[in-house]
Structure 1
Amino acid sequence: MTLSAPSTPEKDRLTALAASRYRNGQKLSASWNEALDAILSHRSVRSYLPQSVPDNIIEIAVAAGQSAPTSSNLQAWSVIAVEDKDLQDRLNAVAGNQRQITEAPLLLVWLADLARSRGIATEKGRTADGLDYLESFLLGVIDAALAAQNAVVALESLGFGTCYIGAIRNDPEAVSRELGLPDGVFAVFGLTVGYPDPARPADVKPRLSQQAVLHRNRYDPTAHRAALVDYNHALGSFQREQAMPPADWTEQVSSRIGTETALKGRHVLKGVIRKLGFTLK
């Protein structure tokens, strides 16, 4: 009789995390640690308890954000913690009145912030022509995204739920007015934060198989094809478990990119960004 090697709690945990994330037999092998667990366990939380987020937690989230990489150490981002419910409601109107914004006690709005850099240059009597180029806008957006994702990992490790809100970009001018943003500052996305409601738990949403997204040395434009049928099946089982309306992922993708209307006002984003003080040469 051949005995199999005993499993370890760490190996079992990685197996469970892989099963939740992929639902396709994908194996993961590494030394388990709490950071990996927090990252691989991510799920978007849309149901919150009516309990405020303590100030020290906001400060930890910002510290985590500031611990992310930043291009040339320019630190070209800022974040606004929105706790005023009336202001949240007005921002929610821009975002299409989403349940998670209504319920969350905290909305963090992450900003690409070139105003601070321009102000520094002005104070030193120097020009800031480099900020007028698309590269600088991208730099601010990327810095904000890196910082926010670090904050998400930190918040979730402490038991908080989060959900990104891209619909903040539906009307950047309205958001800018509500938040008093100066020229050269752009609201990239929002992030709801709060204590998850245990009565309405969120689960880990499966992702495309690694076959579809991992390329070796050169991009393979056909790599995703075999993975789509399996992914639609995996996502369908998730939707049933979460009592969500069934939706084929490939249909969702084609609908989301199919028309100008599907962009929900963001088709004019380039012009609006220029109005907000970004030249985008």
Structure 2
Amino acid sequence: MNNTIETILSHRSIRKFTDRAIDPKQLETIIQAGLAASSSSLLQVVSIIRVTDKSKRALLAEYAGNQAYVESAAEFLVFCIDYQRHAAINPKVKADFTELTLIGAVDSGIMAQNCLLAAESMGLGGVYIGGLRNNAQHVDELLSLPQNTAILFGLCLGEPDQSPELKPRLPAHIVLHENSYEPLNLGDIEQYDETMKAYYSSRGSNQKQTSWSQQVTGKLSGESRPHMLSYLNKKGLAKR
């Protein structure tokens, strides 16, 4: 096993940071690692907004559901779908196809993961903030996003001030299919549920008595940010 694999397999979401700033050269390397990520057809449809304004950080923390680490992390990056630069090059660009929105979301995820892995390889930590989409329009206006762009998620980065336990993932034999989709073995899920129950009850903070199945089916039984479609449509995205 090499250092890269060790970094990937030791990933944990960090939500508590020290006051130490990230060295500018480190941040530059993190961004360059993101820029090196794969890009569909080299469209390069991602923009990153580095938020350094303290008042904006405070508002973003509030918009994300009062997640204090958005404000306290050394760095906070917001990843956006961006077809505005393409429209500026040629006004005839048609950015409203759903496929292009999917490309923007996929490429943003790939780029952000490159940034986080680079940061973790330096001993830093981070956590993704999908909660920005709770108030997508407010975040959009705060960051002055033009048409043909849309916010997706944020990324906190900094020096970890905690060492949380590794969270167990679904075993590979549940996730990996060969040649065609294979039916789910509920017995395998029951075993994973027991693993997660043990994890939740024994971890150092935020202990709870629940299984993975109960948690995710509860989350998926209600609405999930139904305002997002109208937000994207308003920005000229995912219309057809």
Q: So what's the TM-score if we normalise by structure 2?
A: 0.94
> Is 2:171 the partner of 1:205?
no
| CA distance in 2: counterparts of 1:66 and 1:279, whole angstroms | 25
1:233 partnered with 2:198? no
State the one-letter code of the partner of 1:280: K
Aligned match of 1:278: 237
Matched position secondary structure for 2:47: strand
Match of 1:242 among 191, 204, 210: 204
CA contact (8 A) 1:100 1:163 kept: no
Q: Structure with the greater relative contact order (CA < 8 A, sep ≥ 6): 1 or 2?
A: 2
Task: Tell me the distance in 1 between the aligned counterparts of 2:128 and 2:226.
Answer: 20
Gaps of 5+ in 1: 1-31
In structure 2, distance between residues paired with 1:236 and 1:33: 31
Q: 1:70 aligns with which of 39, 46, 51?
A: 39
What is aligned with 2:222?
A: 259
- Unpaired stretches in structure 2, ≥5 consecutive residues: none
Q: Distance in 1 between matches of 2:106 and 2:27?
A: 21
Partner of 1:56: 25
State the partner residue of 2:131: 167
Taking the aligned partners of 1:92 and 1:248, their CA distance within structure 2 comes to 29
| Identity among equivalent pairs (%) | 33
Secondary structure of the corresponding residue to residue 184 of structure 2: coil
Q: Is the 8 A contact 2:61 2:69 kept in 1?
A: no
Alignment of 1:1-281 (within 5 A): 32-122=1-91, 127-129=92-94, 131-197=95-161, 200-223=162-185, 225-239=186-200, 240-246=202-208, 247-260=210-223, 263=224, 266-278=225-237, 280-281=239-240
Displacement of 1:242 in angstroms is 2.5
Aligned CA RMSD, in angstroms, stands at 1.4
Where 1:163 maps in the other structure, the secondary structure is: strand
State the AA in 1 paired with 2:188. Answer: A
Structure possessing the higher radius of gyration over alpha carbons? 1
CA distance in 1, matches of 2:172, 2:88: 44
The SS at the match of 1:190 is strand
Give, in whole Å, the separation in 1 of the partners of 2:238 and 2:165: 42
Deviation at 1:54, TM superposition (A): 2.3
Deviations 1:94-135 (A, max 9, x none): 11111322331211101111111111113xxxx112x22111
TM-score by length of 1: 0.81
Equivalent residues of 2:229, 2:238 under 8 A apart = no
